[in-house]
Amino acid sequence: MQERLQKIIAGAGLCSRRAAEELIAQGRVTVNGEKAQIGQTADPETDCVLVDGEPLPEKKAYTYVMLNKPKGYVTTMRDDQGRPTVAELVQVQGKRLYPVGRLDMYSEGLLIMTDDGETANRLMHPSHRVEKTYIVDVVGDDLREAVYRLRQEMEIDGCKIKALDVQLIRQGGGRGQLSVTIGEGRNRQVRKMCDQCGLKLQRLVRVSEGPLELGELPRGKWRFLTPEEVKFLTAEC
């Protein structure tokens, strides 16, 4: 299958995609004996890709999992305060998996973990906009007015943001449940949006990220991603 050269080189663990582009620009990469060009593609299964005249290292087999993060766990590998971490919930023999992005201690739901640092860094970069949907339980005096305000542009931490979609799922007795879809993924963004609209957020669960869906995965459990889900994560932006 044809792929961009920088992706092939980075996928072999030689360097990052940006560094791979620099190698190509410097004329240090060849494909089937010919000097490679920026933007060129190749098939790693059939084409001979060399860097400085040497073949690429054997492609590393990365691991990708989805965790249904419970409330009360911090999204770090270790915690100086002794709080439970997501690393304690995901144990894959011989692998050290890191979270992609964050869910704060009091939030729940879909969290991707992997040992593929290149893909993780790309997905967490501010330029990578992927839709994330959250189900939130809230308390407020006028939920319909709050939903209207949530759909408008607002300023969070000095930045202009606007939700991609906000739906009122149910309400009653001053309580309600909303579906909120965003693209930016700023720090505690949904919590800050609700606070700005006069809502007290009681529970927040991330249920999807792009085409990846939490589904029926039990709280505190994890599963390996499907080949189709991995393809989404590793796809060229």
Active-site annotation, residues:
104
How many Å apart are CA 55 and CA 152, to the nearest integer? 53
CA dist., res. 95 & res. 116, Å (int): 11
Chain center to CA of 180: 17
Measured between alpha carbons, how far is 48 from 33 in angstroms, rounded to an integer?
A: 8
Indicate the DSSP class of residue 85. B
Element spanning 195, H or E: helix 189-196
Cross-strand pairs, 223: 66
What's the residue count for the chain?
237
